[in-house]
C-alpha cells in the first residue's frame, strides 16, 4: 500500500535527524543506494512535506516508535486521553498510553489507600 505520508515541520526535522543518524545508505548527504557512479543527494533530506524513501519507511522509521505510530498510524491505535499521543492499546478498554497509565495507576492507588485508612480510623463510618 503506497500512500503519501504528509509531514509537519516538526516531523520533518525528526525524520531528517533519523536519516542522518541511523540510515545505513546515508553518506555525507548522499544516498549510497541511488549512487550509479554520480553522487545522488538523499531524497528524504530534500523532501520536507512527505516521506519519499521506501528504505527509510521500512528500516529506519520503526526505530522511533512514537514517530512511527504518528506517521504510519496502524489500524489499532488509540489516542491517549491525558497526553494526546497515539499508542497501541493492550485491551479494548484502555484509555492511556503506557507512560500515563503508570501515573494514573499510582494516583488511583494512593487515593484508594487514603480512603481505606480513613475508613479504618473511623471504624467504617465515612463521615462522623
- CA distances to 44, 60, 92, 94, 117 from 13, in Å: 11, 14, 33, 31, 51
Question: What is the separation, in whole angstroms, between the first and last Cα of the chain?
Answer: 65
Domain extent listing, the chain: 9-73
Minimal CA–CA distance to 65: which of 94, 93, 86?
Answer: 86
Q: 0.85 exceeded by the pTM?
A: no
Average pLDDT, the chain: 86
Q: Is 18 helix (H, G, I), strand (E, B) or coil?
A: helix
Please write the tens of the pLDDT for every residue from 4-41.
778 889 998 999 999 999 998 898 888 888 888 888 88
Q: Please, which pLDDT band fits residue 2 given cuts at 50, 70 and 90?
A: low
Cell representation of residue 79: 489516542
Q: How far apart are CA 72 and CA 3, in angstroms?
A: 10
What is the C-alpha separation between 75 and 16, in angstroms, rounded? 25
Higher-scoring residue by pLDDT: 116, 127: 116
Tell me, what's the pLDDT at 39?
Answer: 86
b/e map of 18-47 (b: 16 or more CB within 10 Å)? bbeeebebbeeebbebeeeeeeeebebbee
Q: Write the pLDDT tens digit of every residue in 58-84.
A: 899 889 888 888 888 777 888 899 998
The 8-class DSSP code of residue 91 comes to S
Amino acid at each position: 500500500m503506497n500512500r503519501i505520508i504528509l509531514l509537519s515541520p516538526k516531523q520533518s526535522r525528526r525524520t531528517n535527524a533519523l536519516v542522518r543518524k541511523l540510515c545505513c545508505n546515508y553518506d555525507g548527504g548522499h544516498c549510497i543506494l541511488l549512487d550509479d557512479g554520480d553522487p545522488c543527494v538523499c531524497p528524504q533530506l530534500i523532501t520536507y512535506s512527505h516521506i519519499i524513501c521506501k528504505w527509510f519507511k521500512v528500516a529506519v522509521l520503526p526505530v522511533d516508535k512514537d514517530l512511527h505510530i504518528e506517521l504510519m498510524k496502524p489500524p489499532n491505535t488509540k489516542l491517549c486521553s491525558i497526553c494526546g499521543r497515539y499508542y497501541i492499546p493492550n485491551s479494548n478498554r484502555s484509555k492511556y498510553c503506557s507512560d500515563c497509565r503508570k501515573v494514573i495507576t499510582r494516583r488511583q492507588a494512593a487515593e484508594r489507600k487514603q480512603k481505606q485508612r480513613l475508613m479504618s480510623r473511623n471504624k467504617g463510618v465515612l463521615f462522623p
